[in-house]
Amino acid sequence: MAAKSHARRQTSPTNEPLYVRWLLVIVGLLFMALFIVLPVVAVFSEALRQGIGVYFQSLMQPDALSAIRLTLLVAVIAVPLNVVFGVAASWAIAKFEFKGKAFLTTLIDLPFSVSPVISGLVYVLLFGSGSVLGPWLRSYNIEILFAVPGIVLATIFVTFPFVARELIPLMQDQGSGDEEAALSLGASGWQTFWRVTLPNIKWGLLYGVLLCNARAMGEFGAVAVVSGKIRGQTTTMPLQVEMFYNEYQSTAAFALASLLALLALVTLVLKTALEWRFGDELAATGRGH
Amino acid sequence: MSRFGRFRQPSVIPGFGLTFGFTLAYFSLIILVPLVALVLRSAGLGWNGFWAAALDPRVLASLRTSFVTALIAAGINVVFGTLIAWVLVRYRFPGRRIFDAMVDLPFALPTAVAGIALTAIYAPNGIVGQFAAQLGWRIAYTPIGITIAMIFIGLPFVVRTIQPILEETSKEVEEASATLGANRFQTISRVLLPSLAPAIMTGFALAFARAVGEYGSVIFIAGNIPFVSEIAPLLIVIRLEEFNYAGAAVIATVMLAISFVMLFVINLIQAWSRRRYGYGS
């Protein structure tokens, strides 16, 4: 920023001289290239290092395939549940005035400020062998920890706020006028929701679902703690990446990682497309995460 | 429904009981009860037991590693994040919108993927690491590696907090400052930066909070040597693997307490900024 002191040579008083502008652009872009672009490039170049044949072979391994299946299964359960929650929470918060509303809104964001490892740990403490529930669950042969239900719970925890934090500001901006009109014309509550509210919020909802899904499929820390990492049974894609990596199967690790990187890039493209095309119909706040 | 009548204002819109009830029930089941279980477990150790576990030298060392590296990473992110936000908002150059979209990549890229990719780059035989090795520097498997992973995951928080504020700042303020005889440097340092200060502080706090709790992108590049490059979230995992659940709960409770303080500070900054500048970031 010190370069900006060369203000004497500038043409306009509210602009920096050309060379300062280019210098700042280059420094900013180099920083981004080094810290953000390079890692993604590295994933694909490491994955394809031994050729496209080996790449597909590593993806067709039974371990990799079962990890992909489990990741899809977890996302298919966790994302819809958080969508239902997000819609319900934003309906309650945006359409009504009640005491403690601001506090409830803050609470919804809580999982973002909790370390992913802690998000997994809480379920280990709740359902683990030393807990109150642990022995009771075991007597009924219900497996939550080191099984799919635990992975789903941990995933729901970390992706909890995504849909709600996108929909709440959007529905607050839109107000209740449309719904009041529909109700006064004789629509029922459900009709109002499906025919009036949902079309109004559909792009914002899709935006929230995109971010929620990306995190659900990519979550590592929380899932690592509850999964037990049983090969072929409780390893999601990110966990299988770690397993391959620790076993020095570098190509297999990066091949599976490249699928996740692809998911991230597709998410980013769709998200950006939504912002460019339907920017007005998305919430002004809540970008990020 | 009548139970809610007292604390909510009447409305013709239906569904408050259903949506509010579901929200509270789901929040309690998924978030609240498990968090309470965590606090109860660490409280089960008693006052002395809790502090004995929390003040264990290895726990303190891991907390120090996490907080110091997160602080440095957030500091670097504030400098470069502000610069990137400035460049993206104020200048027009080819590829600007693509770079703008790419800022969110660390949000979208799974942390484990980022972790192994950063390790591949900064390991002694990696594309950047080999140059550092020639200079006698080690990046991967040291606290520097941890900091780099934290820079990666924290950058978007800073950029995305500052960007909207910078977009809203009108050029008229700068024109007024220039008209009154300020040079460009004075305008930026005395007029623009102070009005950005709350956003910069919020971005710093968000990036810092995220970096402290970060696990996936850090553990691959960290080296994980106790007392040197072992982060607190990893020590939680190690305690769990030793079946020392109470020990894990204590570290987690300490970290939670600190992140709630951070959350509180962020809210204070935003409230202060709303009062002073009429916006919250």
| Confidence check: pLDDT of A288 > 50 | no
Which ipTM was obtained for this model? 0.90
Contact call for A121 and B260, based on CB within 8 A: no
Please list, residue by residue across B173-205, b when 16 or more beta carbons sit within 10 angstroms of its beta carbon and e when fewer do.
ebeebbeeebbbbbbbeebbeebbebbbbbbbb
| Confidence check: pLDDT of B195 > 70 | yes
The C-alpha of A56 sits at a distance from chain B's nearest C-alpha, in angstroms, of: 18
The C-alpha of A172 sits at a distance from chain B's nearest C-alpha, in angstroms, of: 14
Would you call A187 exposed, middle or buried from its count of C-beta atoms within 10 A (0-12, 13-18, 19+)? middle
Give the range of the structural domain holding residue B92, as residue numbers without chain letter. Answer: 46-277
Task: Answer whether A256's CB lies under 8 Å from A58's CB.
Answer: yes
Q: Would you put residue A47 in left (φ > 0), alpha (ψ -120 to 50) or beta?
A: alpha
DSSP designation for B136? T
Span B8-37, mean pLDDT?
92
Residue B28 sits in the same domain as residue B90: no
Estimate to the nearest angstrom the gap between the alpha carbon of B164 and the chain centroid.
18
Closest CA to B107 of A286, A80, A44, A196: A286
- Number of separate domains in chain B: 2
Contact call for A272 and B101, based on CB within 8 A: yes
pLDDT more than 90, % of chain A: 76
pLDDT of residue A115: 95
Residue B12 sits in the same domain as residue B109: no
pLDDT of residue A129: 79
pTM of the model: 0.91
Span B44-59, mean pLDDT?
92
| Confidence check: pLDDT of A285 > 50 | no
Please report, for residues A109, A190, B68, the alpha-carbon distance to residue A157 in angstroms, rounded to integers and kept in the order given. Answer: 11, 28, 27
Lowest mean pLDDT among A100-109, A133-142, B141-150: A133-142
Give A98's contacts in chain B (Cβ within 8 Å): 4, 7-9, 16, 20
| Confidence check: pLDDT of B3 > 60 | no
Contact call for A116 and B174, based on CB within 8 A: no
Residue B220 sits in the same domain as residue B163: yes
The C-alpha of B86 sits at a distance from chain A's nearest C-alpha, in angstroms, of: 9
**Token pair of A220 as six digits:** 């590592």
pLDDT of residue A11: 57
pLDDT in tens, B69-103: 999 999 999 999 999 999 999 999 999 999 999 99
Residue B214 sits in the same domain as residue B89: yes
Residue B73 sits in the same domain as residue B2: no
Give A36's contacts in chain B (Cβ within 8 Å): 102-103, 105-106, 152, 155
| Confidence check: pLDDT of B191 > 50 | yes
Residue B140 sits in the same domain as residue B248: yes
Span B126-134, mean pLDDT?
90
Closest CA to A257 of A75, A62, A38, A45: A45
* Per-residue confidence band for A260, with pLDDT thresholds at 50, 70 and 90: very high
Nearest by CB to A32, which of B84, B175, B188?
A: B84
Report helix, strand or coil for A228. Answer: coil
pLDDT in tens, A223-235: 999 998 898 899 9
The C-alpha of A63 sits at a distance from chain B's nearest C-alpha, in angstroms, of: 17
Q: Does residue A230 belong to the interface with chain B, where contact is any CB pair within 8 Å?
A: no
Q: What are phi and psi of B177, to 5 degrees?
A: -65, -40
| Confidence check: pLDDT of A209 > 90 | yes
Q: How many CA atoms lie within 13 A of B98 on its CB side?
A: 7
pLDDT of residue A48: 95
pLDDT of residue B1: 47
Span B187-199, mean pLDDT?
87
* Per-residue confidence band for A134, with pLDDT thresholds at 50, 70 and 90: confident
Chain A interface mutation, best of B109, B191, B202, highest count of A Cβ atoms under 10 Å = B109
* Per-residue confidence band for A1, with pLDDT thresholds at 50, 70 and 90: very low
Residue A172: in which H helix or E strand, if any?
helix A161-174
Helix-helix angle B245-277:B232-241, to 10 degrees: 150
pLDDT of residue A284: 54
Residue B141 sits in the same domain as residue B229: yes
Would you call A200 exposed, middle or buried from its count of C-beta atoms within 10 A (0-12, 13-18, 19+)? middle
Residue B10 sits in the same domain as residue B98: no
Q: What are phi and psi of B40, to 5 degrees?
A: -60, -40
Residue B172 sits in the same domain as residue B244: yes
Would you call A121 exposed, middle or buried from its count of C-beta atoms within 10 A (0-12, 13-18, 19+)? buried
Span B205-209, mean pLDDT?
92
Closest CA to A64 of A239, A265, A261: A239
> Which residues 50-79 of A have a C-beta within 8 angstroms of B?
none
Span A89-110, mean pLDDT?
92
Q: Report how many Cβ contacts below 8 Å link chain A to chain B.
A: 308
| Confidence check: pLDDT of B213 > 70 | yes
Helix-helix angle A116-127:B232-241, to 10 degrees: 20
Give B88's contacts in chain A (Cβ within 8 Å): 28
Cα–Cα dist A47/A253, whole Å: 8
pLDDT of residue A136: 87
Of the ranges A131-145, A261-275, B174-188, the best mean pLDDT one? A261-275
Residue, of A280 and A20, whose pLDDT is higher: A20
DSSP A3-17: GGG-GGG-SSTTS--
pLDDT of residue B279: 55
pLDDT in tens, B217-273: 999 999 899 999 999 999 999 999 999 999 999 999 999 998 888 878 888 888 887
Determine how many CB atoms are found less than 10 A away from the CB of residue B52. 13
Residue B62 sits in the same domain as residue B94: yes
| Confidence check: pLDDT of A6 > 60 | no
Determine how many CB atoms are found less than 10 A away from the CB of residue B122. 27
Strands, E assignment, A124-281: none
* Per-residue confidence band for B194, with pLDDT thresholds at 50, 70 and 90: confident
Residue B128 sits in the same domain as residue B201: yes
Residue B11 sits in the same domain as residue B76: no
The 8 Å CB, 24+ separation contacts for A258-263 are: A258/A43, A258/A44, A258/A47, A258/A48, A258/A55, A259/A59, A259/A68, A260/A217, A260/A218, A260/B109, A260/B110, A260/B112, A260/B113, A261/A40, A261/A43, A261/A44, A261/B109, A261/B113, A261/B117, A263/A214, A263/A217, A263/A218
Q: Which residue of B has its CA nearest to A4?
A: B185
Please report, for residues A11, A20, B177, B190, the alpha-carbon distance to residue A6 in angstroms, rounded to integers and kept in the order given. Answer: 12, 8, 17, 16
Span A180-197, mean pLDDT?
94
Task: Answer whether A283's CB lies under 8 Å from A203's CB.
Answer: no
CATH code of the domain in which B203 resides: 1.10.3720.10
| Confidence check: pLDDT of A195 > 70 | yes
